[in-house]
Amino acid sequence: MLTQQTALVPEPKFQSPDATSILQETPVIWASSPDYERARVGRVFNHRRPSRYPRGVIEATTVQDIINGVLLANQEGIRVSVRSGGHSWAAWSVRDDAILIDLGKFTCIEYDEATHIVKASPSTTGRMLNGVLVPLGRMFGGGHCPDVGLGGFLLQGGMGWNCKNWGWACEKVIGIDVVTAEGKAIHCDKNQNSDLYWAARGSGPGFPAIVTAFYLETRESYTNMKSSTFVYPISEYKPVMDWVQKVSLECDSSIEAVAVGAIDPATKAPVIIAHLVTFQNTAAAADASLQIFNDSHPPNCLVERMNKDTSLAKEYSDQCGANPEGHRYVAENAYLQNDADVTEVLRKAMTTLPEGSKAFSLWFSMNPTSRRPLPDMALSMQSDHYFALYTVWEHAADDERCKAWVRGIMKEVEPHAVGAYLGDSDFQVRQTRFWTDEKAERLMAIRRQWDPQGTVCGFLDRGDQSRTKGLANVTEWQS
């Protein structure tokens, strides 16, 4: 049944022969369709559904469908929004009075064995991509959550597997195919349309075109992955956090290190977890990499699992458990100052998770990637310490309580932060520095150059007001 709001969304009355031809070639699911609600939010991962209503939805299967969607929007004088994987916490793809181009059915994975380059569509997930690559002896450091689409992940920079050592996933983007705001299909790389290529690596949802394909450098896959996991009562928070930070600087470059504050699902008691994953090619090498953690971990573990065989498939499965479908989410994050007292800054975030929720907070080691010069690209904000919180719950009655907890935590963390990661942000609530000032200014200029009318929906701030202006790159609470 249509709600009162959806019923008010006008269905366009196209008059031109060109529009009629386009509509025959590319069907649009209008607001009056019984399938509209499924098309509007059926692929939105966050079940805290937005009260925003596109004029229509195109479930694209070809590049021509995407071009047609842009042409229709231009003829009607409205905007287009884009959905890749639907995993955006703030549901950036769902915009009022826009044509939503959903790429879920637009699929492509083409691997070139000679160059080790893979061409992939934006809706391709990390699990899908590595499902093709790993049997061929290759891999790509995509998102940790298996159902995250490459589109949003790479545009935001891509904090993927072992990012602290391998660098940002977007650094492996060597080219993109896009449809521009005028409805033209073009290729972009360092030699042609290089400003769009520059922007695609770190612009986030403000990219002023629609990516239809990424060309990605792959890396040799690892035949032996192992993990060590240590679970402690929350009373051991300080020694565990201090230890993980120290040893993450001393271990070798095969190891991804994370500390997580969570609620034990069995006992409902808060715990602090250290999880270390190593990517190696022999069991002996994997054991040797983890030894520094195994030998030095603090006493008083509730659980200790050392040198356990793992794989991308198993890690993806664990991530699914931590990020369950059918739940309501609020995410926030910050890059903490390199010299911050991380243990104390994050104490409340790690130890006071909302009762009854499935929330978790994490600290992710980013050094040494954070200490090296970045390539010339839009992505330009990082630090040694990445902090994110994911507040997960089931019932709408808990919305205000959980949102208030997130806001309270971020108010305390923010004075110790230098900026934030686009992917775990909601510009409707809080804006901050996502780029250096120089890169932010250049990015907003590229937006205006390639999309002067604001046809492609950009950064969804409060009231969706930013349009061609983009974000100000300053810390500012919106609500």
Residues 310 and 319 sit within 8 Å (Cβ to Cβ): no
Q: What are phi and psi of 455, to 5 degrees?
A: -65, -40
Q: pLDDT confidence of 22, banded at 50, 70, 90? A: confident
Strand-pair category, 117-120 with 210-217: antiparallel
Domain count, the chain: 2
Residue 372 lies in a domain: yes
Residue 469 lies in a domain: no
Counting every residue, how long is the chain? Answer: 479
* 8: pLDDT strictly greater than 70: no
Same domain, residue pair 266 and 313: yes
Same domain, residue pair 274 and 216: no
Same domain, residue pair 143 and 167: yes
CATH number at residue 141: 3.30.465.10
* 13: pLDDT strictly greater than 80: no
Mean pLDDT of 95-103: 97
Q: For the segment 143-181, what is each residue's pLDDT rounded down to a tens digit? A: 999 999 999 999 999 999 999 999 999 999 999 999 999
The answer, as to whether pTM is greater than 0.85, is yes
Predicted pLDDT at 2: 38
Q: pLDDT confidence of 11, banded at 50, 70, 90? A: low
116-149 as b/e: b if 16+ CB within 10 A: bbbbbbbbbbbbbbbebbbeeebbbbbbbbbbbb
- Which domain does 199 fall in, by range? 109-220
* Cα distance between residue 455 and residue 208, in whole Å: 8
Q: Choose the final residue of a domain: 150, 185, 220.
A: 220
Same domain, residue pair 270 and 366: yes
Q: pLDDT confidence of 125, banded at 50, 70, 90? A: very high
Secondary structure (H, E, C), 126-150: HHHHHHHHHHHCEECCCCCCCCCEH
* 335: pLDDT strictly greater than 60: yes
Q: For the segment 130-139, what is each residue's pLDDT rounded down to a tens digit? A: 999 999 999 9
* 3: pLDDT strictly greater than 70: no
Residue 111 tokens read as 């691997």
User: Cα-Cα-Cα-Cα dihedral of 227, 230, 231, 232, to 10°?
Assistant: -160
Out of 236-240, 272-276, 286-290, 315-319, which region has the weakest mean confidence (pLDDT)? 315-319
Residue 124 lies in a domain: yes
Predicted pLDDT at 18: 66
Residue 25 lies in a domain: no
Percent of the chain with pLDDT over 70: 96
Residue 354 lies in a domain: yes
Same domain, residue pair 295 and 328: yes
Name 458's Cβ contacts closer than 8 Å, sequence gap at least 6: 205, 206, 208, 447, 466, 467, 468, 470
Beta strand spans in 311-457 (E): 328-336, 360-365, 385-393, 417-419, 430-431
Q: For the segment 410-435, what is each residue's pLDDT rounded down to a tens digit? A: 999 999 999 999 999 999 999 999 99
CATH number at residue 424: 3.40.462.20
DSSP notation for 212-235: EEEEEE-EE--SEEEEEEEEEEGG
Distances (CA, A) of 446 to 1, 21, 98, 440, 457: 42, 32, 22, 10, 14
Q: Choose the final residue of a domain: 414, 431, 448.
A: 431
Q: pLDDT confidence of 17, banded at 50, 70, 90? A: low
Predicted pLDDT at 1: 32
Output 23 or 408, whichever has higher pLDDT: 408
Output 311 or 4, whichever has higher pLDDT: 311
Residues 229 and 320 sit within 8 Å (Cβ to Cβ): no
* Cα distance between residue 371 and residue 338, in whole Å: 10
Residues 434 and 381 sit within 8 Å (Cβ to Cβ): yes
Residue 299 lies in a domain: yes
* 16: pLDDT strictly greater than 80: no
Residue 398 lies in a domain: yes
* 361: pLDDT strictly greater than 50: yes
Q: Average per-residue pLDDT in the chain?
A: 95
Same domain, residue pair 235 and 137: no
* 6: pLDDT strictly greater than 50: no
Predicted pLDDT at 197: 98
Same domain, residue pair 164 and 312: no
Mean pLDDT of 31-44: 97
